[in-house]
Chains A and B, each alone.
Chain A
Amino acid sequence: MSTPAIPFKYMPSPLFTDPYADAWTVPFWEATMREQLTAPKCTNCGKFRLPPSRWCAQCHMQDLEYVDLPGTGTLYSFIIVRHALTPDQKDYVPYIPAVVDADGAPGCRFVSNIVDVEPEDVKVGMPVKVVWNRVSETLTLPFWTAA
Chain B
Amino acid sequence: MKDKAAIVGIGQTERYRRGASLPKSMMDMAIEATLKALDDAGLTVNDLDGFAFYGGAPADPGSMAYLLGVPHVKFAATLTAGGSGAAGSVGMAAAVINAGLANVCVSLFVLQQVPTGRFGGSSEGPRRLPSAGGGGAYGGSTNVSPEAAFVSPASIMSPGHNFSMLTQRHMYQYGTKREHFAEVCISQRNNAMKRPQSVRQTPLTLEDYFAARMISDPLCLFDYTMEDDGAIAVITTSVDRARDLPHPPVLISGSGIGGTGNNAHLLGNFQMPDLSFASAGARDVAKQMYAMAEVGPQDVDVALLYDHFSPMVLMQLEDFQFCPVGESGPFVAEGNIRYGTGSIPVNTHGGNLSDFYCPGMTHIVEGVEQIRGTAINQVEGAEIALVTGGPSSIPMTGTILKKDR
Contacts and interface: CB of A to CB of B under 8 A. Distances in A.
Interface in A95-117: 95, 97-99, 108-113
B25 interface: no
B278 to A, nearest CB: 8
B213 A17 contact: no
Nearest to B140: A20
B257 to A, nearest CB: 22
Nearest to B137: A138
B238 to A, nearest CB: 40
B154 A20 contact: no
Interface stretch (B87-95, B157-165, B202-210): B157-165
17 contacts: A1-B131, A16-B128, A22-B138, A50-B269, A50-B271, A52-B147, A77-B165, A77-B168, A79-B216, A79-B219, A81-B217, A86-B124, A92-B155, A99-B165, A110-B150, A111-B151, A112-B154
A92 B157 CA distance: 13
Given A79-B165, A111-B156, A51 B150 contact: yes
B140 A80 contact: no
A89 interface: yes
B214 A136 contact: no
B217 A79 contact: yes
A70 interface: no
A35 to B, nearest CB: 16
Contacts of B219: 79
Interface of A: 1, 12-22, 24-26, 28-29, 49-53, 57, 76-83, 85-86, 89, 92, 94-95, 97-99, 108-113, 119, 124-125, 136, 138, 141
A77 B271 contact: no
Contact of B130 (A18, A26, A92): A18
A12 B161 CA distance: 14
Given A18-B140, A79-B164, A97 B156 contact: yes
A20 B153 CA distance: 11
Contacts of A15: 125-128, 152-153, 155
Contacts of A52: 146-147, 150
A67 to B, nearest CB: 16
Interface of B: 122, 124-131, 135-140, 142, 144-158, 161, 164-166, 168-169, 171-172, 213-219, 262, 269-271, 277
A81 B215 CA distance: 6
A99 B265 CA distance: 13
A25 B146 CA distance: 7
A141 B149 CA distance: 10
A83 B158 CA distance: 12
B216 A29 contact: no
A42 to B, nearest CB: 14
A62 to B, nearest CB: 14
Highest count of chain B CB atoms <10 Å: which of A17, A82, A111, A113: A111
A22 B149 CA distance: 11
